[in-house]
Amino acid sequence: MTATEPRAAVEEPQPTPRRVRTTVLAWVTSTDHKRIGLLTLGTAVVLMIAIGALALTMRAQLAQPQLDVLSPDRYNQFFTIHGSGMIYLVMTPFAIGLGLYLVPLQIGAPNVAAPRTTMLGYWLYLGGAVTMLSGFATSSGAADHGWYAYPPLAGTRFTPGPGVDLWIAGVALAGLGMLLMAATVLWTALVKRTRGMTLLRMPVFSWSVVATNLMCIGAFPSLLVAMGILAAGRIEPDLFTQNAWNIGYQHVFWFFGHPVVYVMFFPFVGAVAEVLAVFGARRYFGYRITVVSLLAFAALSMSVWGHHMFSTGQAENDYYSLTSILLLVPAGLEYFGFLATLLGGRLSFPTPMLFAVAFVPQFLIGGLTGIMIATPAVDYQVTDSYFIVGHWHYTLAAGSLFGFFAGFYYWFPKATGLQLRERMGKAHFWFWLVGTNATFLPMFWLGLHGMPRRMASYLPQDGFGTANLIATLGSGFLAVGTVIFLVDLVVSVRRPRRAPDDPWGGFTLEWATSSPPPPQNFDPAHPVPPIRSYAPLLDLRPDLGGGRGRR
């Protein structure tokens, strides 16, 4: 990529077919971290809509007992592709793609290290997504063994058909792609920081990405091994007649599977921290303790996988309970930073701040229920019930996705040079606030009253009807909110309003350059400012007490 390339789409003349073709080509072969990052995020947003639509269909099926919206087999395919899609194809790419876009900017680097490897990562991810979803086009349908594909169910004896094979290939491709991308972004943060950007001056968001990518490096190889075991077992079905392979698969899978749930929320902790500080008009409180907590959290996360296996009777339950409960220490310290920043700020509430503020109590519900299910005596009862479904949707949908939207609304003007419409953003927020809680809160009750997860339907005498109806109505609010979000995007692109370089008064380096940033991120017109702390632009603003904080 050269510096002469056209920049913001809004300034371009009417697109001709030839121009469109060259622009597309420039994007898909780009070695610019911003373009690869936006491709990753854009692909994941599209997939989020498609995979979210699967969830809405499931909610329709469950609205009342014995409905026939989906056959049992279709339902099972839908929850499998919804769960695997959200995890492998949406939230993980959100997490890693956001880091890819922002980390080089935040540390003053001109590009990501190893841009071609990064691009390969995107292509592997896209190929994996297409491969997994193409299962729906086969005669036996998509994979229907759940997002963690336990053998022997996922073996050929019990689930023949190409859907599972495509699923395995898709997960392996997407997983490898994410691993490559995480590795190059980590490398960038370690070696490509600009002058003055010491490790302890990296913004909280960049640190959260470092911790995330460390977990990726530790965990994703294990996913590839797990997919290898599944593939081997599909070639040689006798493998899965042996308990050692079946339970061994679970250990290998969860060695990946637990860290990845933190991959899907750390960058959003970082994003929320940045947003709270900027809209609190103050330096983020407790920077160093937050960095230490993120790293401790990441390290501990590699030791807790067995808490997914308490009821197998084949895991060291006491050990995994111990390590899992210890996670509350770093998590509590992160919350300390959130709350102290809010308590010490002068707050204003544009859309990004609304999502960031809601993240705090909603994710907390996910965390508190997490401690409960880290306790075997409780987990024996609630595991594989709707209580668990409620738990992880509070962490991932009510938590991470709110954090993602906080970041989306916050950084959208930077990435595009365009402003979103505040009123639509706020409407999106309120629909999601109501919808999320109405959808996922009743699930705790359902689980405690005996509803297993992954139930394609239930009977009237089960007594699950009312709570499920509330959940389904709630998901309607989520759908409306999502439509508003999409309309907002279309309107903002079709009737562009230019965003200034620094619309929010941000503290970190990306706000010192133009919107969107030039190909090399900073240029003579937008040089990297002096860096004296993790909030370099705040240091230049005496009106906000800049320069008064430590370091």
Partner 1 sequence: MDYRRVFDHVFGLQLWIAGGVFVVVAGLLLGALVFNRARRRDKLPFAAAEHNAIEIAFAVFLGGAAAFLVWLSLSNNHRLDYGDTLAVAQQSGLPAGQQPVRVDVTAFQWCWSAAYPGSTTTVSGSCATPADRPVIVVPQGRPVEFAITSRDVAHAFWIPDLALKRDAYPDHVNTVLMTFPETGQWLGRCSEYCGTYHKDMDFFVRAVPPEQYQAFLQTGSLPARAAA
**Residues forming the site for Cu ion (CB under 5 A):** 258
Task: Report, in Å, the least distance between residue 307 CB and Cu ion.
Answer: 5
Q: Which of 439, 457, 492, 508 binds ligand HEM (CB under 6 A)?
A: 439
* C-beta of 75 vs 125, nearer to partner 1: 75
Select the binding partner of residue 258 from partner 1, Cu ion, ligand HEM, none (C-beta < 5 to 8 A, by kind): Cu ion
Nearer to Cu ion, 282 or 308 (CB): 308
DSSP states along 6-42: ---GGGSPPPPHHHHHHHHHHHHT---HHHHHHHHHH
Residue 41 contacts by C-beta under 8 Å, 6 or more apart in sequence?
A: 93, 94, 97, 98, 101
Binding-site partner at residue 396 among Cu ion, ligand HEM, partner 1, none, CB < 5 to 8 Å by type: ligand HEM
Q: Which is nearer to partner 1, 7 or 449 (CB)?
A: 449
Burial class of residue 470, CB neighbours in 10 A (0-12, 13-18, 19+): middle
65 forms part of the interface with ligand HEM (CB under 6 A): no
Of these, 91, 166, 269, 331, which contacts ligand HEM (CB under 6 A)?
91
Stretch that binds ligand HEM, among 13-21, 76-84, 239-247, 274-282 (CB under 6 A): 76-84
Span near ligand HEM by CB under 6 A; candidates 26-34, 202-210, 292-300, 394-402: 394-402
Q: How far is the CB of 328 from partner 1 (least distance, A)?
A: 5
Burial annotation 384-409 (CB, 10 A radius, 16+ → b, else e): ebbbbbbbbbbbbbbbbbbbbbbbbb
Determine the Cα–Cα distance for residues 485 and 164; give it in Å rounded to an integer.
33
The pattern of x and - marking residues 246 through 285 that bind ligand HEM according to CB under 6 A reads ----------------------------------------
Cβ atoms of residues 436 and 478 within 8 Å: yes
Stretch that binds ligand HEM, among 81-89, 118-126, 185-193, 529-537 (CB under 6 A): 81-89
Binders of ligand HEM among residues 462 to 491 (CB under 6 A) are 475, 478
Q: Is 83 in the site for ligand HEM (CB under 6 A)?
A: yes
321: burial class by Cβ within 10 Å (0-12, 13-18, 19+)? buried
For residues 220 and 285, which CB has a smaller minimum distance to partner 1 in the complex? 285
CB atoms within 10 A of CB 350: 17
Q: Which is nearer to partner 1, 125 or 249 (CB)?
A: 249
Q: Give the one residue of 174, 389, 406, 499 binding ligand HEM; rule: CB under 6 A.
A: 389
Determine the residue with CB nearest ligand HEM: 83
Q: Among candidates 411, 374, 366, which has minimal Cα distance to 270?
A: 411
Residue 186 token pair:
């980590």
Distance, in Å, from the CA atom of 454 to the CA atom of 79, rounded to the nearest integer, reads 7
Task: Assess 35 for contact with ligand HEM (CB under 6 A).
Answer: no
147 binds ligand HEM (CB under 6 A): yes
The correct pick among 32, 34, 35, 79 for binding ligand HEM (CB under 6 A) is 79
Instruction: Give first-to-last CA distance, the chain, whole Å.
Output: 37
Partners of residue 452 on adjacent β-strands = 385
**341, 277 contact by CB (below 8 A):** yes
Residue 86 found at the interface with ligand HEM (CB under 6 A)? yes
Rounded CA-CA distance 255/304 in Å is 8
DSSP reduced 3-state for 385: strand
Shortest Å, Cβ 252 to Cu ion: 14
Tell which residue, 429, 310, 475, has the closest CA to residue 380: 310
CB of 102 to ligand HEM, least distance (A): 20
Least spacing, CB of residue 258 vs Cu ion, in Å: 4
Between 30 and 369, whose beta carbon lies closer to Cu ion? 369
Number of residues that bind ligand HEM (CB under 6 A): 24
Choose the contact partner of 147 out of partner 1, ligand HEM, Cu ion, none; CB within 5 to 8 A by kind: ligand HEM
Q: Binds 329, which of ligand HEM, partner 1, Cu ion, none (CB < 5 to 8 A, cut-off by type)?
A: partner 1
Under the binding rule (CB under 6 A), the answer on residue 77 touching ligand HEM is no
Does residue 358 interact with ligand HEM by CB under 6 A? Answer: no
The one-letter code for the residue type at 421 is R
Residue 247 phi, psi (nearest 5): -80, -30
Is residue 52 a contact residue for ligand HEM (CB under 6 A)?
A: yes
Contacts of 382 (CB under 8 A, 6+ apart): 372, 373, 388, 447, 448
Residue 385 has φ and ψ, to the nearest 5°, of -115, 180
Residues forming the site for ligand HEM (CB under 6 A) = 52, 55, 58-59, 79-80, 82-83, 86-87, 91, 146-147, 389, 393, 396-397, 401, 439, 453-455, 475, 478
